[in-house]
Structure 1
Amino acid sequence: MEWLGGFVLGFVADLFRSVAMPASTEWINRRIPSARKKSNFEENKLTLEIMEKLKSLGKDPDLAKHARDDADQFMSVLTSQQQAFVENAIEVIDSSFMTQAEMNNEAGRRADVAEKQMERAIVALERSGWMNEAQTTALGETQKRWREYAQSQASLVAAEYEGGSMAPLTYASELEYAAVSRAGELKRMLDDMRERYGD
């Protein structure tokens, strides 16, 4: 019976966090002018920062208005170092008027871009001159196994939508995520070698 008490307590706490706290913050912002003014200022400042960041990335600054609900998270993605994730976040916001088929095609294109970034990282490692023959062989074998893993992982995630129109989108998005992560690992390896063996 203890688990039931814990479950009910957890449910009530989650309900309070998701319903009562945002509602009370909104109520305070409506009733207290200085709180409302501060909230509006912070929101507008963040929106302007997002617009500037989008502009610097060569994207339409007006996309910022679609990111208001998750502005903090969107901004953190925009300022991250992984370009493929930035592109993905922008396109997710911009895709509200895309058909499912268009979103599937776009996800496939992004997965291809991420794959090319990863391949460039492999070539850079191989041409660096800092890897011996055993390392080069091990890298090739690792990549073969990584590819099998990435495809299996993408199939696992997409299985939730098996037979549905979202399955290709989910599969491609998972492949993109895996390739971006792998490219980051390979780049870190290259950076470490450059530190140890570079000029």
Structure 2
Amino acid sequence: MSKIMMWFRKALLAAVVAALGLSALPTASVFALGLNDTTVPPAPASISNERLEMIWVREQAIYARLGRLFFRSDEMIVNAQKLIDQAKSNGKDVSAVQSALDALAAAIKQAKPVYDGGQSVITSHPGFDNAGNVTDVTQAKATVKSVGDTLKQIRQIVEGPRKALREAVKAFRDANKPVGTPAIDPRGG
């Protein structure tokens, strides 16, 4: 192959590499708007009836589940207290778990009236018919927002103590792991 042909190939290869490299660069400049931007952001899209109905069904399910938890909360706290008392009688340090359980019990008592207050909105369900279909969009939006706010408030009250109890139980278990016993060989050896 001649030297000219080799030089031509190398030049062509360099041109292709340069073209590919330049094609990755932007072709137009972009500038941010100044501080005097007077454009109004678009209004939020209107929520559809179908979406409202789905939110309503989900909120009702969450509310029902919370109701069952509130109904069983006293029994669950008593059972947890029995386990704490049993561990204490075995000489274990249960102070962190006990204080976390007490904090959760107090939070549940604080959240119960909030739950009961939201029950009237669930029962009357303004903006929805008995089948959960939207009858008045404005009222339905207000109902969904009201129930959502109630659920958020309950969560804010209970979430911290619930997590603290979970962490205290985890720390208790880690600190009081059972002493390993040698495994018995099922083959007799």
Query: With structure 1 as the length reference, what TM-score do the two structures score?
Result: 0.34
Higher helix share: 1
Query: With structure 2 as the length reference, what TM-score do the two structures score?
Result: 0.36
Greater relative contact order (Cα < 8 A, sep 6+) = 2
